[in-house]
Amino acid sequence: MRTEDLRVQALKNPLGINENPVFSWQLVSDKKDEKNERQTAYRILVSESEASLINETGMLWDSGVVKESRCFGILYQGKKLHSAQKAYWKVMVWDGENQASVWSETASFETGLLEREDWKGIWIGQGEDYENQELAPVFVGEFEVADLEQVVCARAYISGLGVFLADMNGQKLSDAFFEPGESDATKTVYYVTYDITNQLVSGTNFLTITLGNGQYTGYTINPVMVYQDGTKTKFGRYQKNDSCFVKPGICGRKKLIAQVELILKDGTRKIVCTSNENWLWVNGPTVFQNWYGGEDYDACLAEELIGKIPSEENGWAKAKKMQSPKGVLMARECPPIRIEERFTAKSVKKLGEGHFMVDVGKNGAGFVELVLHGTTKENRGNWISMYPAEMINEADNGVDQRSCTQSWSEKFDCVIRDSYRMAGTGEERWHPSFCYHGFQYVEVVGFPGELTSDQIICCRLAVANEKHGTFETSNQTLNRICEITDRSISSNMYWSFTDCPQIEKLGWIETSHLMFASVADVYDIRAWMKKIIHDICDSQLDNEQASLAGNNEEGFVPGIIPAFYRIGGLYKDPNWNGACVFTPWAYYQYYGDEAVLRQAFPVIERYLAYLDRQTTNGVLENYAQMGEWGEYGEHTPNVLVATCAYYRMFVIAKQICEILKGQKKQKENKLDEKAKLYEAKAQAVRDAFYHHPECYDEATEQFGTGSQASYAIALFSGMAEEHEEQAVKALVEAVKKNGYHLTSGEVGLKQVFTALAEAGYSDVVYQMVMNPTAPSYRVFADNGLTTLPEYWNYEELWLGSMVRSRNHAMMGHVREWMTSFVLGLRPQSPGWTKMLVAPYAVAELTYAKGSVMTPWGIVKVSWKKENESFFLAAYIPLGIIATVCMPKEYGGSQLEVGSGEWKFEAKVEN
């Protein structure tokens, strides 16, 4: 046995972390065909240098031999770490026969700036009263490095609000976009640490930082056409702006703080550059940038700036001190946003002189990179404009941006546009840096000559969560549904799990728990989802914020995280705000990490106290505003949807108390008392639920309106536990009554699939998914969609007037069913320590295969049917105990197995 994939904070050799490292690794057997291996103990060594780690001297931490089978969630318990401290570590493990492994390869981590006092610079910008926020200012800090040979390593610590790009001496510091990461700036401001060792030069060095608006500054200006107080303003670029309230301090003027440090050969840290009022700035070649409306870049201006030394004589101005955000500067401990996929356009159609229609082949999120060949002086100063969209306007064969711009219908009334002003220097290449879009089509205007497909490069961006989950079957339509869902998920993996990549780009947080398993089954989201949970916790209103005019009560958690917007009439609902309970719990169930429960529990307590004050006769009546959002053809009462969520929160809170009381002093936290309180609260909600006429009819034993979601939500929440058999039968009948069509919205859909599949009715789920008539997933695939639309009836106008998004992940719950039931891979204990391999042998399929990443490693499974035999193969990583269940029609035998490669065969039972 040996170890691999060593990580801290679920990241490989992270640079610039906060002060509480959490270790993990995976186990690998060196013995061929070995089965049932497991770890029984580990020992971790952490040191300040690689040499001392090898010699095992001067340890920061020696864990000693710890009797523990788990290889993740291991908390550092060594000497106190200081800022900018690099540490090296390795691990040894013992197997079931008490045989020690060799030491792992050395891994490392490095802390960032842990205390506010470590930041010696100030927040700088253009000034609080600078008016033109559409431009992207370029800031330059100059510093000297006298003896480069004495420098062992160099670090740049940077935060910029809203978003920033940085380079050192003309070289980009990274390939990341939209740094440092969205947050509630009243609580947390993220910063990024860069290794700039190889970019320094002897003598004068220039650190250049360009600031864009992002969401932080985007809301404070409005250069675009919107409806405000019923008034239509001037035509222009699109900006999401129909909010009734914005949390004070969460938005502001563009600003930055930066610091450069050198580590010298004698071990000393030397600060050589900090942001201050001696920095210079100039408006850069990005002459317009808006998070929603697009970006304009003037290559002529860029050419003028290149080569000119920044100075006041050359038109640069001195930076001004800016008001500091209230939030604490904190290292962002999750992967950056990167270009995850690049491909050329599928087709180009000429509409006129210099006018082209481009189809990149599939919908998604990102931007277009424009490639120009042989531009000349005649082209210099001319603009090329690109209009991204999800639909085609059949009237003129151009783009239709209504699904991206809240449905303004006049051509280019309210546009999303990226524009490039040519320099005429021959070979030119450009893409936006401060915005992204949801699109499949691009209308290009002003292009010189003939546009070919290789001159339009589609760049798909997302948080760089590693993709490990796979799914394939003998049915190509089902495979396309999987691809459509996966693409919709990746299109919304940004600094929050966004609703869509065009109209809103907001972190509606219900999907962080409703879609948790669907996303985690495909991507490694350990670090990314921890950021989201941190942001959710940050968002809770304290007493000061609750006292602000127009705000909610103390303990309230917004439905959009960070709370850049609060949309009137759509901000109170326990399935949204309750993500502060459900998402940490989903994280714990999937990854087995109690730390998120410790972090979230105080927030959970305050939120449940707030929610308790909103009840009427023990239920949440006339409170929830979203309910079964996206339902179609059937209505499920809001009071049922909300109260079931409310009940489940108390059940979860009780379980969290029981988990945490073993880790803390019981007397100090009174967790036993709290567990009893939450148990009593849950029972009171249950009693009230059964006495409410919209929730349950005792005479007919009907839940809610008898809709699919009414029964499924009651079953999923545990509210129907005493009526489970009858409720399942009624749910199946409700599906049959609707011709196996999907009627649930985003809250009930996961619960419909789960309730049916867990009761043994995956065949019903399959018929719903593959129904040839709408609404169904199959119809999306058959109609050529490449991402999931917002609603089942996507071709109809929403509220009679609006065309809605063609790229939402909120209805992607089929992905969880594919992994959990078609493949049969699902956890049976927190962190997959125990799991099921229990595939559903779909009658219409001859084979299925796939994989899922667990904290222990990748689980793989494949099954196939030949004649009357069923063949099942599975790989179980070291550390997991799996219960293998053959399909009922093939005997339904069960066997508990450990790690290794396993093969099984069974015959049809007549």
- pLDDT tens digit string along 603-637? 999 999 999 999 999 999 999 999 999 999 999 99
Task: State what percent of residues in the chain have pLDDT above 70.
Answer: 94
- Residue ranges and CATH numbers for the domains of the chain are 2-111 (2.60.40.10), 119-279+319-331 (2.60.120.260), 337-463 (2.60.120.260), 470-822 (1.50.10.10), 834-907 (2.60.420.10)
Q: Dihedrals φ, ψ of 418, to 5°? A: -115, 130
| Mean model confidence pLDDT for the chain | 93
Residue 325 contacts by C-beta under 8 Å, 6 or more apart in sequence?
123, 161, 185, 186, 189, 249, 252, 255
In 559-652, DSSP assigns E strands to: 566-567
Distances (CA, A) of 565 to 216, 507, 579, 740: 11, 10, 17, 38
Taking the C-alpha atoms of residue 614 and residue 153, their distance in angstroms, rounded to an integer, is: 56
How much is the CA Rg of the chain, to the nearest whole Å? Answer: 28
Taking the C-alpha atoms of residue 184 and residue 564, their distance in angstroms, rounded to an integer, is: 8
Distances (CA, A) of 241 to 288, 503, 566: 18, 10, 10
Residue 909 contacts by C-beta under 8 Å, 6 or more apart in sequence?
889, 890, 891
CA 298 from chain centre, in angstroms, equals: 33
The mean per-residue pLDDT over the stretch 490-501 comes to: 98
Taking the C-alpha atoms of residue 675 and residue 376, their distance in angstroms, rounded to an integer, is: 74
In the predicted structure, residue 183 carries a pLDDT above the cut 50: yes
Position 381, amino acid: G
Residue 414 has a pLDDT of: 66
CA 248 from chain centre, in angstroms, equals: 25
- pLDDT tens digit string along 718-773? 999 999 999 999 999 999 999 999 999 999 999 999 999 999 999 999 999 999 99
Determine contact, residues 644/714, Cβ cutoff 8 Å: yes
Helix (H) or strand (E) holding 25: strand 22-28
Among 438, 263, 304, smallest CA distance to 367 is for 438
Among 289, 283, 298, 179, smallest CA distance to 239 is for 289
In the predicted structure, residue 162 carries a pLDDT above the cut 50: yes
Reduced DSSP (H G I as helix, E B as strand, rest coil) percent helix, strand, coil of the chain, to 5: 25, 30, 45
Taking the C-alpha atoms of residue 179 and residue 336, their distance in angstroms, rounded to an integer, is: 8
CA 75 from chain centre, in angstroms, equals: 24
- pLDDT tens digit string along 403-457? 998 765 444 456 899 999 999 999 999 999 999 999 999 999 999 999 999 999 9
The mean per-residue pLDDT over the stretch 562-590 comes to: 94
Taking the C-alpha atoms of residue 283 and residue 254, their distance in angstroms, rounded to an integer, is: 13
DSSP string, 330-352: EE--SPPEEEEEEEE-SEEEEEE
In the predicted structure, residue 293 carries a pLDDT above the cut 80: yes
Residue 243 has a pLDDT of: 57
Position 49, amino acid: S
Count Cα neighbours of 334 within 13 Å in the Cβ-side half-sphere.
27
Q: Dihedrals φ, ψ of 456, to 5°? A: -120, 105
Task: State what percent of residues in the chain have pLDDT above 90.
Answer: 86
Among 827, 892, 885, 824, smallest CA distance to 856 is for 827
Q: Dihedrals φ, ψ of 450, to 5°? A: -95, 125
Return the structure tokens found at 556.
């309230």
Check residues 568 and 574 and name the one with the higher pLDDT: 574
Taking the C-alpha atoms of residue 880 and residue 856, their distance in angstroms, rounded to an integer, is: 7
CA 380 from chain centre, in angstroms, equals: 41
Residue 669 has a pLDDT of: 73
**Residue 30 pLDDT level (bands cut at 50, 70, 90):** confident
Return the structure tokens found at 289.
């940038």
- pLDDT tens digit string along 219-255? 544 443 333 344 444 457 888 766 555 677 888 999 9
Calculate ∠ Cα 145-149-152, nearest 5°. Answer: 90
Return the structure tokens found at 576.
């949204």
- pLDDT tens digit string along 33-65? 778 899 999 999 999 999 999 999 989 999 999
Position 351, amino acid: L
Among 734, 736, 738, smallest CA distance to 708 is for 734
Strand partners, 696: 703
Among 330, 396, 22, smallest CA distance to 189 is for 330
Residue 249 has a pLDDT of: 80
DSSP string, 59-87: EEEE---EE----S-EE--SSPP-TT-EE
Determine contact, residues 26/856, Cβ cutoff 8 Å: yes
DSSP 393: E
In the predicted structure, residue 492 carries a pLDDT above the cut 90: yes
Q: Dihedrals φ, ψ of 435, to 5°? A: -160, 165
Return the structure tokens found at 420.
């490039």
Residue 553 has a pLDDT of: 86
DSSP 36: S
Residue 417 has a pLDDT of: 93
Neighbours of 910 (CB within 10 A): 5
Calculate ∠ Cα 277-279-282, nearest 5°. Answer: 115
In the predicted structure, residue 480 carries a pLDDT above the cut 60: yes
**Residue 23 pLDDT level (bands cut at 50, 70, 90):** very high
Return the structure tokens found at 806.
């063609």
Residue 90 contacts by C-beta under 8 Å, 6 or more apart in sequence?
6, 44, 45, 53, 103, 104, 105, 106, 107
Residue 606 contacts by C-beta under 8 Å, 6 or more apart in sequence?
540, 554, 555
- pLDDT tens digit string along 92-131? 999 999 999 999 999 999 999 999 999 999 999 999 999 8
DSSP 302: H
Return the structure tokens found at 276.
């201050």
Taking the C-alpha atoms of residue 481 and residue 780, their distance in angstroms, rounded to an integer, is: 8
In the predicted structure, residue 548 carries a pLDDT above the cut 80: no
Residue 232 contacts by C-beta under 8 Å, 6 or more apart in sequence?
225
In the predicted structure, residue 174 carries a pLDDT above the cut 70: yes
Residue 882 has a pLDDT of: 98
In the predicted structure, residue 203 carries a pLDDT above the cut 70: yes
As a whole number of angstroms, the longest Cα–Cα distance in the chain is: 91
* Ranges 86-90, 234-238, 561-565, 664-668: which has the least confidence: 664-668
In the predicted structure, residue 515 carries a pLDDT above the cut 80: yes
Strand partners, 456: 370
**Residue 796 pLDDT level (bands cut at 50, 70, 90):** confident
Q: Taking the model in full, what pTM does it have?
A: 0.95
Determine contact, residues 68/49, Cβ cutoff 8 Å: no
**Helices of type H across 511-561:** 511-514, 516-520, 526-539, 543-546
Position 47, amino acid: S
Residue 453 CB burial class (10 angstroms; 0-12, 13-18, ≥19): middle
Determine contact, residues 898/875, Cβ cutoff 8 Å: no
Residue 549 has a pLDDT of: 54
The mean per-residue pLDDT over the stretch 198-227 comes to: 79
